[in-house]
Amino acid sequence: MKHFRIFFFLAIGFVLTACGGGSSSSNTLTGNWTANLTNTDGTPAFAFTTSFTQSNGSIVIGTNLAFTVSTGCFTSAASQTGSFVLSGNFNGNISGSFQLTITSATPSDNTLTLQGTVNNNAISGGWTLAGLTPGCTGAGDFTFTRIS
């Protein structure tokens, strides 16, 4: 049933876009974003910038990932994958659920998972970090802001 709802909303979005009633390309997640992550006690945990390209409706490709607050959990290139699920708002506003996973290259086996909601030019929610590197576990809240 969940897959049917996702397919249904994607199909409606494609129909509205084809009819001129859907959102324009500026109403996607495509762009440059900055993320600030805080621990459960409110102290800063991580910060990074990334570029998102939203393609095929719900798939988000992340590039140019750069941690702006140094962390031993992600010392070299990391890969990122994400998704965006439409919530049915097709009036030029972005809304829905968001998920992003960042996996470290070196040291390996550290995974940062962010799950939240999108509301126009802001994304917020919770994060968890699971890893084999000492000190590379945790949880808290995050906010993303579009910077361009």
Q: Is the pLDDT of residue 19 over 50?
A: no
Of residues 19, 23, 45, 66, the one with CA closest to residue 129: 45
Write the pLDDT tens digit of every residue in 53-98: 877 666 777 888 888 876 788 876 677 776 666 554 445 567 788 8
Q: Among the listed ranges 10-14, 68-72, 104-108, which one has the minimum average pLDDT value?
A: 10-14
Query: Does residue 137 carry a pLDDT above 90?
Result: yes
pLDDT interval class at 9 (50, 70, 90): very low
| Residue 26: Cβ-neighbour burial (10 angstroms; 0-12, 13-18, 19+) | exposed
- On the question of pLDDT at 26 being above 70, the answer is no
In this predicted structure, what is the pLDDT of residue 109? 83
- The CA distance from 2 to 78, in Å, is 31
Predicted TM-score of the model (pTM): 0.73
Query: What per-residue confidence (pLDDT) applies to 1?
Result: 42
